[in-house]
Amino acid sequence: MRHAASLLGLAVAGLVTGCPDRSISEVNPLQGRVEAKDIPVKINRKVDILFLIDNSPSMRDKQQNLADNFPKFIDVLDSIQGGRPEVQISVVSSDMGSKGSLDTVPGPAVGQVNNGRCADVGDDGIMKTSGVVFNNGAPFISDVLAADGVTRVRNYNGGADALKTVFATMAKVGDTGCPFEQHLEAMKRALQPTNAANRGFLRPDAFLAIIFIADEDDCSFEHSSLITADTSQLGPLLSMRCTRYGITCDTGGATPDDMYKIGAKGRCHPNENGPLTKIADYVTFLKNLKSDDPSKVIVAGIMGPTEPVATELRKPKGDVNEQPQLAHSCQYVGGDGNPEVADPAIRLRFFLDQFPNRSTFAPICQRDLSGGLQQIGELLKTVIGDPCIEGKLADADPDKPGPQYDCAVSAVTNRGLATQTQTVLPHCEPDSGAASNKPCWRIATDTMCAAGDHLTLRIEGQDTLPQDTHVVANCVTEVTN
């Protein structure tokens, strides 16, 4: 099994970027793409997962959709080599009442009881179980390893598969919450060490993943004055206030007044000088939670696409007069046969983008959210580090006996720092655990790898590499189209 020069050049030039689907030139016509791997030498299999679920009045169908398709997310995690990671999974709603992030006390309540009321501190970032009672009294799912490193300890009954049905109940957080959704502030409140109600969820040595399920953008405001019932200054008490003062569009929306004008907008981004809490504050908060290694933070969203953006005249629910409102960016027919919509999530998408290589997005306007949930699961799988080969590896030299795999493999230390180093690893000679040129790589069969040909990338002598090393690899795969 040889290490082709064509890919060695790729390794030296750009392997560290980990591009997952880059074309290769000047190779056998049956070889055309690569499968990328980024595997920490010291694999961390602990993940704390927070689902931030919008509980405003338009979310019932979407919560049911999430509950129905959550098993697809867990199936991806279960496919990681070694099986399900040690997971803790919690649910928090977007309702923070009428209290702004800089307020010492909540503002006056607004809205209707049981139909979009913003009052007091709302759910205050407290994790919701929706009636599920866990064996250890925690407000979250726990499925971890015991001290022996083998036995699974679960705080719910019914075995491993029961996790899926337990979460399905937890996901239905209701649809009567505040329609001024403070997704980011609720996330922050949930994860603050001072929030005693959620104690035990954050593990210092675990990855932290936050997954937003929302059909409207974030409206985490600094002060309750943004949702005052007095309409003389800010206009009708609608979530358009969040867009008007929290978003700026270079085309057609350079000022709050421009944002309020009817028409299409373009090149939109958060207004970091408006009344909404700065996105940067939430990014800093999360990275400080993992100050030893900010790459332990993973963020994802299933929400409205960021385009198109437009202001249109539309009648608010229960009103006979048309008002300027943010146009929906997607729509679909829900499981109950009723129309469902979502608005462009400009602030949330910008937030996700602040975590390069650690974020992903999927549209919420789908009858079946399984694809988006699988996509998020695959991101977690990649971050944890799964050496299993998913695709069909190409035989670089079919004339030779046995498969000749063409991989470029490097050991990278101090990744992302000025002191980063990269060392190309050779193919193992001989191709076995008894190789004489360790550390080296080889492709081996592993029945724990469910996909493809049950192959895994194995590093012989990896214990000689520094503990912070990442093994970064690209292997040529067969063309499938």
Cα distances (angstroms) measured from residue 170 to each of 53, 64, 156, 167, 207: 10, 11, 13, 5, 22
Average pLDDT, the chain: 91
Q: Assess contact for 46 and 477: CB atoms under 8 A.
A: no
Over residues 221-266, the pLDDT tens digits come to 999 999 999 999 999 999 999 999 999 999 999 999 999 999 999 9
The count of other CB atoms within 10 Å of the CB of residue 304 is 26
On whether the CB atoms of residues 377 and 302 are closer than 8 A, the answer is: no
CATH code of the domain occupying 46-384: 3.40.50.410
Q: Is the pLDDT of residue 26 over 70?
A: no
Confidence of residue 112 (pLDDT cuts 50, 70, 90): confident
Residue 32 has pLDDT above 80, yes or no: no
For residues 222 and 61, is the Cβ–Cβ distance under 8 A? Answer: no
Query: Is pLDDT at 5 greater than 60 in this prediction?
Result: no
**Does residue 27 carry a pLDDT above 50?**
no
User: pLDDT above 70 covers what percent of the chain?
Assistant: 93
- Given a contact cutoff of 8 angstroms between Cβ atoms, the answer to whether 168 and 51 are in contact is no
| Contact call for residues 246 and 183 (beta carbons, < 8 A) | no
- Residue spans per domain, the chain: 5-42+386-478, 46-384
CA distances from 426 to 4, 322, 331, 436, 450 (A): 11, 68, 52, 11, 26
Cis peptide before 106 (omega within 30 of 0): no
pLDDT at 468: 86
φ, ψ dihedrals at 201, nearest 5°: -75, -50
Is residue 30's pLDDT more than 50?
no
Q: Which amino acid is at 47?
A: V
- Residue pLDDT, tens place only, 427-476: 999 999 999 999 999 999 988 787 778 999 999 999 999 988 999 999 99
| pLDDT tens, residue by residue, 189-226 | 999 999 999 999 999 999 999 999 999 999 999 999 99
Position 475 scores a pLDDT of: 95
DSSP 221: B
DSSP 8-state secondary structure symbol assigned to residue 198: G
CA angle 266, 269, 273 (to 5 degrees): 130
Residue range 141-182, pLDDT digits in tens: 999 999 998 999 999 999 999 999 999 999 999 999 999 999
pTM of the model: 0.87
